[in-house]
């Protein structure tokens, strides 16, 4: 049986001096990438993006 690892990533809002705001798409993407890289135990993630 393979060992399975579960990670939880919470993406919501941030508090700042003027109140609160939702995370931007870039902040959400970076958070997800950091979680994947951390789970893989590596310091980099090679990604390929293609547009149709």
Where do the H-state alpha helices sit in 1-52? 25-40
pLDDT digits (tens, 9 = 90+) for 20-47: 999 999 998 888 888 888 777 766 556 5
Separation of first and last alpha carbons in the chain: 39
Task: Give the residue, 21 or 52, on which the prediction is more confident.
Answer: 21
The answer to whether residue 9 sits within a structural domain is yes
Whether residue 8 has pLDDT greater than 90: no
What is the model's pLDDT at position 31? Answer: 85
Tell me if the pTM is above 0.95. Answer: no
The answer to whether residue 12 sits within a structural domain is yes
What is the model's pLDDT at position 51? Answer: 56
**Boundaries of domain holding 19:** 1-43
- Distance (Å, whole) CA 45 – CA 29: 13
Whether residue 52 has pLDDT greater than 80: no
Phi, psi at residue 6, to the nearest 5°? Answer: -115, 130
Count of domains observed in the chain:
1
């Amino acid at each position: 049986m393979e060992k399975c690892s579960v990670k939880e990533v919470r993406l919501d809002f941030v508090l700042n001096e003027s109140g609160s705001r939702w995370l931007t798409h870039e902040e959400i993407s970076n958070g997800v990438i950091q979680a994947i890289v951390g789970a893989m135990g590596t310091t980099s993630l090679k990604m390929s993006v293609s547009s149709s």
